[in-house]
C-alpha cells in the first residue's frame, strides 16, 4: 500500500463504468470493499431486458471482477429516479426488483428518490420504499442536484411517512446546505466526493470539523463522468493532514459505512479481513478479467497487511 494508507470502504461507486485497472489501483490505496448502486448509465434503457442484464451484471460479473483483485463488491438494486419517468418501463422494473433485492451481496434498495422531483419519480420512490419495508431492506436515497435542500427535505418526509427507521436510510449526495437537517432527523448522511457537481474533499474536511463524524461517511460516486475512484483514500489522507483525529477519519471512511450497510446482514468485515484466495485463472461464464496478463495466484491470508 502507499505510505500512510489505511483500510477504506467506498460505499457508492459505479464500477460498471470503470476499468479493471481501477480495481487494481484502488486495492493498492487501501480500498477493501465497494458498494455499487443501480444507476442511470448515461442514456435511457428502452426495454426491460436491459435492466435484467444490468442487474445480473451487478450481482454476478462485477462481484467476480472485483474479487479477482481482492476487493469485496456489494450492490444496491432499484429503478433510479431519472428512469422512473418512463412509467411504462418502470412498471416492468418494479416486477423485477423483488427477484434481485434479496440476492447475495445486495445490501439495500437504491438509488431511489428524486431527480427533477416529478410526480412519476415520487410514485416510484414511494413504491420502492414500500418494497424495502416488505423485504426488510435498507434504503439508499439519491438527493437531486437541483433544488437540493427542498429535495432532501421532501425525501426524508416521504421516508418517515412510510414508517421507515431513519437509521435504515442513507441520504446521499449531502452538502453544507443539507447536512444539519439530515443529522437532526436521525438519518445516515453520506457525501459524494465528486468534482464540481457534488462535494470537494477540502469542503468535506470543513464539514467534518463542524459536525464531527457521527452518522457521516463519504463515497466517490465515481462513474462515467469526470470522477475519481480514489476519492475516499485521498480525502482520508487530507483529513489526517488537516488535523482530523484518526478515529474520526476511520469512522467516515470505513466504520460508519460498515455500520450502516452491515445492518443488511450481507456485508461484514470478515469478508475482507479473512478473504478467500485469489486465482486469476478462474473464468466467469467463460470470460477472464485478464487480457494477456500473467494470472496472479495468491492467498491474502498469508500476506502481511499494513494498517495504519
| Average pLDDT per block of 10 residues along the chain, 308 residues long | 72 96 96 96 91 97 95 97 95 97 97 96 98 98 93 98 98 96 98 81 93 97 91 96 96 98 97 92 90 85 46
- CB under 8 Å to 238, separation ≥6 — which residues? 201, 202, 205
Instruction: Collect contacts of 130-133 with beta carbons under 8 A, ≥24 apart.
Output: 130/162, 131/94, 131/97, 131/98, 131/101, 132/108, 132/164, 133/162, 133/163, 133/164
- Characterize the bridge pairing of strands 72-77 and 31-37: parallel
pTM for the model stands at: 0.94
Q: What residue spans define the domains of the chain?
A: 8-274
SS3 at position 67: helix
Question: Which CATH topology does 8-274 take?
Answer: TIM Barrel (3.20.20)
Report how far apart the first and last C-alpha atoms of the chain are (Å, whole number). 11
Contact 17, 57 (CB under 8 A): no
Phi, psi of 19, deg, nearest 5: -90, 165
SS3 at position 282: coil
Q: What is the pLDDT of residue 305?
A: 38
Phi, psi of 123, deg, nearest 5: -60, -50
Q: What is the pLDDT of residue 197?
A: 67
Q: What is the pLDDT of residue 25?
A: 96
Q: What is the pLDDT of residue 306?
A: 33
Q: What is the pLDDT of residue 200?
A: 77
Q: What is the pLDDT of residue 303?
A: 58
Amino acid at each position: 500500500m502507499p505510505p500512510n494508507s489505511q483500510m477504506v470502504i467506498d460505499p457508492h461507486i459505479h464500477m460498471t463504468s470503470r476499468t479493471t485497472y481501477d480495481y487494481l489501483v484502488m486495492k493498492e490505496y487501501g480500498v477493501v470493499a465497494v458498494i455499487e448502486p443501480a444507476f442511470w448509465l448515461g442514456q435511457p434503457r428502452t426495454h426491460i431486458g436491459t435492466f435484467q442484464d444490468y442487474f445480473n451484471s451487478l450481482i454476478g460479473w462485477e462481484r467476480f471482477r472485483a474479487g479477482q483483485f481482492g476487493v469485496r463488491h456489494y450492490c444496491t438494486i432499484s429503478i433510479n429516479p431519472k428512469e422512473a419517468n418512463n412509467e411504462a418501463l418502470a412498471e416492468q422494473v418494479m416486477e423485477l426488483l423483488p427477484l434481485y433485492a434479496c440476492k447475495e451481496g445486495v445490501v439495500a434498495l437504491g438509488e431511489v428518490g428524486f431527480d427533477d422531483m416529478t410526480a412519476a419519480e415520487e410514485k416510484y420512490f414511494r413504491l420502492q420504499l414500500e418494497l424495502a419495508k416488505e423485504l426488510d431492506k435498507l434504503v439508499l436515497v439519491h438527493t437531486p442536484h437541483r433544488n437540493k435542500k427542498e429535495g432532501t427535505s421532501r425525501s426524508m418526509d416521504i421516508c418517515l411517512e412510510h414508517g421507515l427507521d431513519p437509521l435504515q436510510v442513507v441520504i446521499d449526495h449531502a452538502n453544507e446546505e443539507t447536512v444539519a437537517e439530515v443529522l437532526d432527523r436521525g438519518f445516515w448522511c453520506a457525501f459524494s466526493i465528486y468534482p464540481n457537481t457534488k462535494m470537494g474533499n477540502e469542503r468535506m474536511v470543513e464539514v467534518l470539523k463542524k459536525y464531527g463524524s457521527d452518522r457521516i461517511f463519504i463515497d466517490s460516486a465515481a462513474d462515467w463522468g469526470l470522477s475519481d475512484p480514489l476519492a475516499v483514500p485521498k480525502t482520508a489522507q487530507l483529513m489526517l493532514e488537516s488535523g482530523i483525529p484518526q478515529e474520526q477519519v476511520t469512522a467516515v471512511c470505513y466504520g460508519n459505512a460498515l455500520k450502516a450497510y452491515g445492518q443488511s446482514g450481507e456485508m461484514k468485515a470478515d469478508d475482507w479481513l479473512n478473504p478467500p484466495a485469489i486465482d486469476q485463472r478462474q473464468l466467469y461464464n467463460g470470460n477472464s478479467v485478464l487480457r494477456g496478463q500473467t494470472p496472479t495466484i495468491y492467498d491474502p491470508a498469508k500476506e502481511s497487511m499494513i494498517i495504519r
